[in-house]
Amino acid sequence: MASLTPQHEHHGYISDKDRYLARVKRIEGQSRGIYRMIDQEAYCIDILTQISALTSALENVALALLDDHLKHCVVDAARTGGPEAEEKIAEASHAIARLVKS
């Protein structure tokens, strides 16, 4: 998925990139597991339990990325001020709103 904002040389999560990739890889495995459970007609509650775990894992990744974004991208933009600072703050507010709705 392409970003709607210009690309920067460095994102806040870059120092934890390997950790994020490992977490997303586990989430991918959880998703495939749910697919197999449905395919093998597993008990509904067991599938729902796995969906809940998957949802929680995704939310944790999202919150960690948001935290990194606030600590790096937003703070850096706020230091320089101007329109970029306003844009980064609005961007973070919209991201928070999307997370709260989900």
Domain hosting residue 74, numbered range: 17-101
User: Which segments of the chain does DSSP mark as H helices, in order?
Assistant: 17-39, 44-69, 75-80, 82-101
User: For 61-93, how does the pLDDT look when each residue is reduced to its tens digit (9 = 90+)?
Assistant: 999 999 999 998 899 889 998 998 999 999 999
In this prediction the pTM is 0.79
CA distances from 38 to 50, 58, 66 (A): 11, 20, 32
**Domain with 64 in it: what CATH number?**
1.20.58.1000
Mean pLDDT, the chain, integer: 88
Which amino acid, one-letter code, is at 7?
Q
Residue 8 in any domain: the answer is no
Residue 83 in any domain: the answer is yes
CB-based contacts of 99, cutoff 8 Å, min separation 6: 59, 62, 63, 66
Query: What is the rounded distance in angstroms from the CA atom of residue 72 to the CA atom of residue 43?
Result: 44
Residue 6 in any domain: the answer is no
Residue 7 in any domain: the answer is no
The total number of structural domains in the chain stands at 1
